[in-house]
Amino acid sequence: MKKVLLLTVLFLATAVTYAGGYRVSLQGNKALAMGHTGVAVINSSELVFFNPAGLVYLENKLSVSVGAHGVLADVSYQNSATGDTSMTEAGVGTPFYAYVSYQANDWLAFGLGIYTPYGSTVAYEDDWGGSHLVNNIALQAIFVQPSVSIKITDKFSVGGGPIYATGGVNFNKNLNRTLTDLDGNRSEVTLEQTGISNWGWTASAMLKASESLTVGVNYRSEIILSAEDGDATFENVPNSPLTPFADTTFNADLPLPAELTMGLSYKHNDFLFAFDYNMTYWSVYESLSVDFADELITDTNLLRNYKDASTYRFGVQYEASESFTLRGGYYFDESPVQSGYFAPETPRNDSNGYTAGLTFKVGDRLEIDASFLYLQFNEVDASYDYFVEGSGGPANLINQYSSFGGTYKSSVFVPGLGITYKL
């Protein structure tokens, strides 16, 4: 369940913000405005995230980029056969980033990034049709990434560094479709854990093939977030030997999948064109497994069976004047969710992202960056066919798989604002 929470928030953090599983791809206003391209774009310390190898090519001794995004998302559900409808109580997420790079000499540069690739809140209406799968979820996660960039030749560089991930999760669902206490209140469970952390790493390379053409590649490793001795709290459970749900602890693992991004950029006069291809190795996410310390409560194993998924990103930049730089972009993001595994904690499918933005130069050192993203998920009729009624309870309450499905509609609007300082 902990995993569910993390997974859910992570995924909706994606649905709510970018797409692609449960990640939130809002790591820079310059990059987002160009369709979230950046692996081959040399523009600022945003390279700490997109391609650390490029830091050594920045012209300034010191570069600082700080910004945030506001995420406004809506998810609606409808089952025409039953007449059941619901909509998420969409809050406003605020993922942020802060990067700094320092040029030690002509061939060596250092960087540091603090960003939130996972962070969102999603809440459905109380006791909605899918409350046995999820009521609400929340995730807060912060990544800290020190980086180094080394120029091997005038045209080729490498870079990378460790990644420290830390955060917390909260997840709530009803125990099943019908169980209530004597007052008719639905029985539910809340799973919560803070201080979850682990390490990963990133490695990258950049080739400046010519004055116009740049090629880049970046790999980010898988990170396993392990919830140990998290709190499982049960409410509104009837007092019966058949329902021995008592507050306990749990263990669960959530894999944050590895990613490979490669791309190129081409400069022609005042225009810069960029293309990125991203592969996220979602197939590592086969199931949500929750181990309860109380042996009377059956451990949970919720199938997910994700597949690896691709994202195609396109962006263009135009230097309109000495003060204004304009950007636009588009990306297509494949869903990792397969047929029959469409769980409402992550109601997302293939999506189209439309982006725009600009940079205004206040002076020689200070820039104001703005970006806008409209993310449209294709309407989808889908179901989750592997819920076990009574799962999480005593073994004698566990029955056969049951299905929950309907029509999902999702859309996201994300404005962003940041500053870049160069010295």
pLDDT tens column, 392-423 = 444 444 456 778 888 877 778 899 999 999 99
Question: b or e along 46-60 (b: 16 or more beta carbons within 10 Å of the residue's beta carbon)?
Answer: bbbbbbbbbbbbbeb
pLDDT over 90 (residue 255): no
pLDDT over 50 (residue 11): no
Query: Which residue is it, tokens 């309109």?
Result: 320
Each residue's pLDDT tens digit, 323-349: 999 999 999 999 888 888 887 766 567
Give percent above pLDDT 70 in the chain.
87
Nearest to 288 by CA among 249, 341, 329: 341
pLDDT over 80 (residue 192): yes
Show the domain range for 290. Answer: 2-422
3-state SS assignment for residue 165: strand
**CATH code, domain carrying 357:** 2.40.160.60
Amino acid type, 127: D
Token readout for 147 is 């980086």
pLDDT over 80 (residue 44): yes
What torsion do the CA atoms of 28, 11, 174, 394 make, to the nearest 10 degrees? -130
Q: 122-131, 221-230, 384-393 — which is least confidently predicted? A: 384-393
Each residue's pLDDT tens digit, 267-294: 999 999 999 999 999 888 888 778 899 9
Give percent above pLDDT 90 in the chain.
48
Each residue's pLDDT tens digit, 123-180: 777 788 888 888 887 777 789 999 999 999 999 999 999 999 988 878 888 888 888 8
- The model's pTM is 0.87
Q: What is the mean pLDDT of the chain?
A: 85
Number of structural domains found in the chain: 1
Instruction: Please state, as a whole number, how many other Cβ atoms lie within 10 Å of the Cβ of residue 236.
Output: 18
Round to whole Å and give the CA distance between 300 and 173.
Answer: 13
User: What was the pLDDT predicted at 7?
Assistant: 36
Nearest to 187 by CA among 117, 238, 230, 146: 238
CA angle 38, 257, 165 (to 5 degrees): 80
Amino acid type, 275: F
User: What was the pLDDT predicted at 39?
Assistant: 98
Nearest to 153 by CA among 212, 217, 208: 208
